[in-house]
Amino acid sequence: MSAEASRSGDLRRRLISDLVQNNMQPSRVVPRARGREAAEAHAHPAAAPPARGRAARGSLVGAISALVASFFLVGARAVFPTASVFGYSDLALTRQSPPLAARAASSARSPAPATAEDWDALSREAAGPVLAPRHDTGVDATQAERALAFLSGKKRMSLSELFHLRVNRIVIDPGHGGRDPGTVGTTLRLLEKDITLTIARRLRDRIAAELRLQVFLTRDDDSSLGLRERTRRANALEADLFLSIHINFFPNNSQRGVETFLLGFPTTKEAEATAARENAVGEGTIADFAGLVDRMMTTLKQEESYTFASGIHDHLYAGMNGLHGGILRDLGIKRAPFVVLMGAKMPSVLTEVSYLNDPAEELRLADDSYRNRIADLVFEGVRHYVEGRT
């Protein structure tokens, strides 16, 4: 057999191995080289460093640092024991709720309760008295390694990364609803409230089916719902993530793009205007906001919200820009004072997934398939965040 044929065989084996790996773990991207690196790997397949060697070195470091990490873990619990400090310590500890768990397990997706009373009943079920670690918090070598990196400042990471905390429950909020239509399209008169509900339902179904998480919608029909009520429901369920879905309307008619928001002081006039529009149903005051933000900015919730927002925004923008032939503006991740995000105790994000000021986009949004594609892009962002926590 010639060397070329042998190399070709090696390459095909490697490609198929990557394909199988991709199919076994659909969301994971197999790291690979481009251009010259790939050519070198092709020519010298044996030159690639074996992963086992790295793992062995890691475990040695892990063993040495385990004691340091154990100390840190205990210390962290002692210093930050409650939600009042972190605002989202329920990310670390979840109340064990057999009825809710059983309900979620019995159905791939968790339908939103129909009435406010249902929501209250569900919250009571979720609010059992027992606090138990969601995960085994025993320190393994990898965890110890991460702790060491965190302590030494060599690697910037959030505490949820450090403790390897997982997401179990997500609340999705379809923006507006009932007597509040949100923005209205200029040609077909499409309503934001209808579009957000379709996208949220699709997103819920995919998260429940593919990520096997408990998912709740703040509304599953065309009902009116106050902005604070939305986060109240997420808090009552002790959700790990809160995602509010909206459709934008840019005053500048030629503007096209997607943007994602976290709670915070606005850094641009446009972000301020968007927040004013989404807050239009009129709850909350600046004083409420300033006090709350002061407390929150001292916590790591912002950091997690940003990571969550990044995952969603990157996937959404890349996908939408591809669908629009590369003409969309990346309006980025911004901070703005959205009332709907104000009371949330968990990482929370508001995403403007599309825009209704452009008649061509409105035409696309009239098609359920297009809405589903948007939901799929958001789903990839959620998956990116969730799997980064596992």
Partner 1 sequence: MLVAQRKKESDNILYIGVDLGTSRSAVSASNGVREWERSLVGWPKDIIAKKFLKRDIVFGEACLKHRLALDVFRPLAAGVIKTGTDRDEEAARTLVKHLISMAKPEPGQSVYAVVGAPAEASTFNKQLIREAVSDVADACLIVSEPFTIAYGLEMLFNTLVVDIGAGTIDLCIMHGTVPAAEDQKTLVQAGDFIDQQLFEMLTERYPSAQFTETMVQRWKEEHAFVRVDGSPQDKIIVSIPVGGRPTSHDITDELSRACSAILPFLREELRTLIASFDPEFQVEVRQNVVLAGGGSQIRGLRQWLEADLADLGGGHVSTVEDPLYAGADGALAIARDTPADDWDRLRTL
Identify the helix (H) or strand (E) that includes residue 333.
Answer: strand 329-336
Which one among 42, 77, 103, 134 touches partner 1, defined by CB under 8 A? Answer: 42
The number of residues in the chain equals: 390
Tell me if 131 contacts partner 1 by CB under 8 A: no
Tell me if 330 contacts partner 1 by CB under 8 A: no
Which one among 120, 125, 140, 210 touches partner 1, defined by CB under 8 A? Answer: 210
Tell me if 79 contacts partner 1 by CB under 8 A: no
Q: What is the DSSP letter of 45?
A: G
Read off the tokens for 106: 């019995």
Q: Of 30-38, 63-71, 121-129, 137-145, which part binds partner 1 (CB under 8 A)? A: 30-38
Tell me if 109 contacts partner 1 by CB under 8 A: no
User: How would you list the strands of the sheet with 241-248, edge to edge?
Assistant: 214-217, 169-174, 241-248, 348-355, 257-263, 329-336
- Integer CA distances (angstroms), 269 to 251, 305, 381, in order: 12, 21, 27
Helical segments of 140-253, H only: 141-152, 159-162, 192-206, 227-236
Read off the tokens for 290: 């300033």
Q: How far is the CB of 136 from partner 1 (least distance, A)?
A: 25
Which one among 85, 298, 367, 390 touches partner 1, defined by CB under 8 A? Answer: 367
Contact in structure between 206 and 376 (CB atoms under 8 Å): yes
The residue behind tokens 């004072």 is 337
Q: Of 28-36, 132-140, 216-224, 249-257, which part binds partner 1 (CB under 8 A)? A: 28-36
Tell me if 49 contacts partner 1 by CB under 8 A: no
- x/- mask, partner 1, residues 283-322, rule CB under 8 A, reads -----------------------------------x---x
Q: How far is the CB of 33 from partner 1 (least distance, A)?
A: 7
342 by Cβ neighbours in 10 Å (0-12 / 13-18 / 19+) ranks as buried
Q: Of 150-158, 216-224, 236-244, 372-380, which part binds partner 1 (CB under 8 A)? A: 372-380
Q: What is the DSSP letter of 95?
A: E
* Residues at the interface with partner 1 (CB under 8 A): 8, 11-13, 15-20, 22-24, 26, 29-30, 32-36, 38-39, 41-42, 202, 206, 209-210, 318, 322-323, 325-326, 367-373, 376, 380
